[in-house]
Chains A and B, each alone.
Chain A
Amino acid sequence: MSTHAHAQPGESGHAAGRAEPQTAEEITRRRFMANATITIGGVIGLVLAIPIVGSLIPDVGAGGATWTPLDAAGWKELQSATDKAVKIDFNLRTKDAYLPMQSVPESVWGIKVKDVAKFKAARTDLFTPAGKDELPYEIVTMGFVLFSPICPHLGCRYNYDSDSNKFLCPCHGSQFDELGAHIAGPAARGLDPLPLREQSGGAQVEWIRYKATIPDRIVVSYSS
């Protein structure tokens, strides 16, 4: 037996005309409907959740690096520099998601390494105890090292103070000496060297981004 009554206007609550279940069959039937309703909701939620969560997972294909020519004047300045770091500009070809391919201004810091042994001793984070490169490319090329301009702490752009011959990051105060070794502040490693090569009279760099904050160098991308 089931009665179905609408609450009359002005009547508060809706329970007045509702009958309590009387038989075991009725109780089972109601419990089934309650559970089925919850199950239907769960199924809908789950079916929706799979594509939504899937859509949110980022596409992190790192691709590969390409050689990009450095600004000729900056390269010349580095070659003639004595013991100061030189900022060398270049235009990086990059593609940001679905936007058209762009050419964006970028830069690297170059230093002249006169004493490779001294550099290796200062940058133990880059070389094995036997003096082999820790990275899969030559770190000192033609007596030069190029550093990524991105602070290995949290990704700010550090600057060079030519008076103290140090690299200083304005964000959280990380400091690196003239060879890029970490000397103060929160960064967990020294500056990141980038591959350098000479090609038809000019210099070229490979743009690589390494993961921030950690002591190890893990490639996160080869673009932008």
Chain B
Amino acid sequence: MLNWIERRTGFISQAKEFLEEDIPGGASYWYVFGSATLFAMMLQIVTGIFLTFFYSPSASTAWESTRDMYVHPFQHFVLSVHYWGASAMIALLFLHMLQAIVWGAYKSPREVQWIVGVLLLLVTMVLGLTGYLLPWDMDAYFASQVAINLTLQMPVIGAFIQQFAQDGTTMGTLTINRFFGLHVWLMPAALVGLVGAHLAIFRWNGPAGPPVEDPRPLKVGRFWPDQMFMDAVASLFVFLIIIALAAFAPPFLDAKADPSNSTFIPYPAWYFLDLFGLLQIIPGDYEIIGAIIIPGVATALILLLPWIDRSTTRMVGSRKPIMWLVAGSLAVMWWLTIWSQMSIVQKQAGAPPSAPEAQILAAQEQTNISESGAGGTAPSTNANAGGGSAAAAAQAGQTVYQQNCSSCHGASGSGTPGVFPPLAGNPFVTGNASDVIKLVLNGKAGPLTVNGHSYNGQMPPWKSLSNKDIADVVTYIRTTLGTNHASPVTEADVAKLKK
């Protein structure tokens, strides 16, 4: 059977050829970092593909579809694996890179392989940045706003890059769509292409092997199955850590992005904390140094490392200046990371905390239930209406109306043509009282027709108002606004429907 396939495809011999590679000095667990990074990447691709089955990129669905994944255990687990897989991939990439630096593996003839590797790091960080926005919760919104506005620091092209990144002048639906396209198609395509190049160049040059004065006496080991086995063991180890974290420390989904929130403290992903720290340390007038110059120079230095390190051997002992430079940079990065993390924790301690996740997820569930249960139980509004209190309620309701409703529906309830319907003379308002309460509680979106005119606006849910305010305002619009003369409602009616 295998022979039959081989004769018609050559797959067996091609696979053999691909896997036959000499390993200088024999297989070793020192060589697993590249393969483990590749494994993490494949894990990200597989989980990412299936997340697109559930995710919907727009300002009115991004957070909602993410929230829905959180309440489905299997979807939530796939999402959590993707979340931790991203951290694992970046951590392994750093380790892989650090090893290449310490062993001098970037030296001739592997300069291009090194450059492709650095490009892979940059693409991976862009993937981290673009993926961060997609859940569209509070942190996703503000952290991404900061990242997007930082591009303004770039000379000449900054303004264009910023508008290009957010697809317009402000962040919104188009930004989500653009980041989605970048995160799901463009960057992964670049990643896969670069990994292909990285591996092809690797095969061309062969493994660098350990840094020794004379590699000739090294015994030669086999890639398959010796090194491949060790790579598999390392990948399993990485996988176990990722699924343990995914199971026991899943990511936190905060409330939906609210641009008007002034107490939220945004925080970046851990691999951007050092850059975040630079922004805080460098005084405002010199911000471009922390935002553009230092990261730019650091990237250039890393790319040019094969030409900066002029030593003829790969031995650590004869490359002391480079080792000190690397150790110093790492120390600064660590210090900035830890310092930034501590400063964020300190600031968060002084700010109102986010609601517990269970509450964030459940609050929305209630909305769904009350929406789906519409028309089921109609409270007996007329029986509860007391004469004198209704007039007082309508008066209180007028204040609530002026503060919250009149900007769209007009002070006299005449609405905004084409967008927000009138309330005065609107048969829905004077119709079933519980339907009116439900609409105020849950909001409404999409086209509707009132008295022959069509409207297409969006009303936010007003659950944040107290039951009394809602009862008062509904009483006002039903009994007093314009020429409306329908029955009042009570706080108890609202309480019943709010459940």
Contacts and interface: CB of A to CB of B under 8 A. Distances in A.
Interface of A: 9-10, 56-60, 62, 68-69, 71-73, 87, 90-91, 93, 96-107, 149, 153-159, 170-174, 182, 185-188, 200, 202, 209, 211-214, 220-221, 223-224
Contacts of A90: 407
A93 B460 CA distance: 11
Nearest to A90: B407
A221 B145 contact: no
A157 B261 CA distance: 7
Interface of B: 7-8, 10, 58-60, 142, 145-146, 149-150, 152-153, 159, 163-164, 166-170, 172-174, 258-266, 279-280, 282-285, 287, 347, 351, 399, 402-404, 406-408, 411, 416, 419-420, 445-446, 456-460
B149 A100 contact: no
Given A100-B456, A172-B279, A72 B403 contact: yes
Contacts of A170: 263-266, 347, 351
A158 B456 contact: no
A164 B266 CA distance: 23
Contact of B399 (A72, A105, A157, A220): A72
Closest 10 CB pairs of A and B: A186-B284, A157-B262, A221-B169, A102-B458, A96-B172, A212-B149, A154-B149, A220-B169, A97-B173, A213-B152
A224 B172 contact: yes
B173 A213 contact: no
B458 A103 contact: yes
Contacts, number: 158
A185 B280 CA distance: 8
A213 B153 contact: yes
B262 A158 contact: yes
Contact of A211 (B60, B159, B166, B260): B159
Given A93-B419, A100-B445, A69 B407 contact: yes
Contact of B59 (A58, A96, A171): A96
Contact of A157 (B167, B260, B285, B407): B260
Contacts of A10: 7
A157 to B, nearest CB: 4
Nearest to B406: A69
B145 A213 contact: no
B308 to A, nearest CB: 31
A107 B260 contact: yes
Contacts of B419: 93, 101
B264 to A, nearest CB: 7
Given A97-B174, A100-B457, 15 more contacts: A72-B402, A93-B407, A93-B416, A99-B59, A100-B445, A101-B457, A154-B149, A155-B145, A156-B145, A156-B146, A157-B259, A170-B266, A173-B280, A213-B287, A223-B170
Contacts of A69: 406-407
B160 to A, nearest CB: 9
A31 B142 CA distance: 56
Contacts of B408: 91, 93, 103
B169 A62 contact: yes
A90 B406 CA distance: 10
A155 B416 CA distance: 31
B381 to A, nearest CB: 26
A56 B160 CA distance: 12
Given A99-B60, A172-B279, A60 B168 contact: yes
Nearest to B168: A58
Contacts of B59: 96-97, 99
Contacts of A212: 149, 152
B398 to A, nearest CB: 11
B226 to A, nearest CB: 25
A220 B166 CA distance: 12
A132 B8 CA distance: 85
A68 B410 CA distance: 11
Contacts of A156: 142, 145-146, 266
Q: Determine which residue in A9, A99, A186, A223 has the highest number of CB atoms from chain B within 10 A of its CB, and name it.
A: A186
A94 to B, nearest CB: 9
A158 B153 CA distance: 20
A187 B279 CA distance: 11
Given A68-B407, A157-B264, A170-B265, A97 B152 contact: no
Q: Determine which residue in A156, A157, A171, A200 has the highest number of CB atoms from chain B within 10 A of its CB, and name it.
A: A171
A97 to B, nearest CB: 4
A213 B149 contact: yes
B173 A73 contact: no
Contact of A59 (B7, B168, B445): B168
Given A149-B262, A171-B146, A187-B284, A91 B407 contact: yes
A79 to B, nearest CB: 15
Nearest to B445: A100
Nearest to B61: A99
B63 to A, nearest CB: 13
B405 to A, nearest CB: 9
B137 to A, nearest CB: 15
A186 B149 CA distance: 13
A104 B260 contact: yes
Contact of B150 (A154, A159, A200): A154
Given A58-B168, A105-B460, A171-B266, A154 B145 contact: yes
Given A101-B419, A155-B149, A171-B266, A209 B173 contact: no
